[in-house]
Amino acid sequence: MEVIIQRTSRSASAYAGRLVSRLLQEKPAAVLGLATGETPLALYKEVTGLHREEGLDFSNVTTFNLDEYLGLGPEHPASYHFFMHEHLFRHINVPSSRIHIPDGLAKNVPAFCEGYEKAILDAGGIDLQVLGIGTDGHIGFNEPGSSLASRTRIKTLTNRTREDNARFFQSTEEVPHHVITMGVGTIMDARHIVLLAFGERKAASVAAAVEGPITAMVPASILQMHPRVTCLMDEASASQLKRADYYRWVFQQKPDWQQP
């Protein structure tokens, strides 16, 4: 696990944008796993800027989103379909046929989840997975207690997660209780994982994920077992890391050929 502490969320997102850019230059038909919420917004602005100003090409890219609320259609302003098209897809040249987002209106949820897993495999697997982290350490919507070997499935949201996400709705009562989410095992299959964490609210969960024991009570802690994870954070979210000075020193010694 590579821990990179940047002064601001903007500089951390810019670094993540360069990672995406380098991947697409090396593998134009890359498969991207994408996240929603406030955390990746600056990253999406970075890559849309690279597309607009430098011609970063998404025409052969395939995307898979982590999750979606059950009961929300793609036109609902709080759905992740709506979010992704508003903040990323309509600004880049990724073909609509290559965009995959869980179906919040799926009639047969288990069958849909099985098909989603198969679609990822058929695409060759995810090359780079973007993640955020919840205040309780969840990744995707894999809440504390989720199986660390889980696959795409239905999950029931905790009250804490519903309250955290209520800002995207008119009230907490409107936040759905259920979602479709990639499982922890699905996420761990990605060849490269980029975890973004910003703000003091994330400091405790970041410390638990990076320096704490591996436990299903902090699903993000399983990332310690992945061969290639890049954790990008600002100073606020890194404030509870005991080895923060060491992580900064390691980054300063990073060889030029490892820089994006």
Active site (annotated) includes residue 189: no
Domains of the chain: 2-212 (3.40.50.1360)
Which one is predicted more confidently, 235 or 167?
A: 235
Active site (annotated) includes residue 136: yes
**pLDDT tens digits for 184-241?**
999 999 999 999 999 999 999 999 999 999 999 999 999 999 999 999 999 999 999 9
Q: Which of 46, 51, 67, 81 is catalytic?
A: 67
The secondary structure of 182-197 as a DSSP string is --HHHHHTSSEEEEEE
User: 3-state DSSP call for residue 10?
Assistant: helix
Is the CB of residue 209 less than 8 Å from the CB of residue 223? yes
Q: Which of 127, 136, 164, 234 is catalytic?
A: 136
CA distance 193 to 33: 9
Share of the chain above pLDDT 90, in %: 92
Residue with tokens 């955020």: 132
Contact residues for 106 (Cβ-Cβ < 8 A; gap 6+): 70, 112, 180
CA distance 112 to 114: 5
Residue 18 has phi, psi (to 5 degrees) of -70, -35
- How distant, in Å, are the alpha carbons of 46, 194, 201, 244, 257 from that of 136? 27, 18, 10, 21, 36
Whole-structure pTM value: 0.95
Q: Which of 68, 103, 117, 138 is catalytic?
A: 138
Residue 167 pLDDT level (bands cut at 50, 70, 90): confident
Is the CB of residue 79 less than 8 Å from the CB of residue 73? yes
End-to-end CA distance of the chain: 17
CA distance 218 to 225: 13
Q: Is 196 exposed, middle or buried (0-12, 13-18, 19+ CB in 10 A)?
A: buried
| pLDDT value of position 260 | 86
Q: Which of 46, 143, 164, 189 is catalytic?
A: 143
Of the ranges 48-62, 65-79, 84-98, 161-175, which one carries the lowest mean pLDDT score? 161-175
Average pLDDT over residues 91-109: 97
| pLDDT value of position 140 | 96
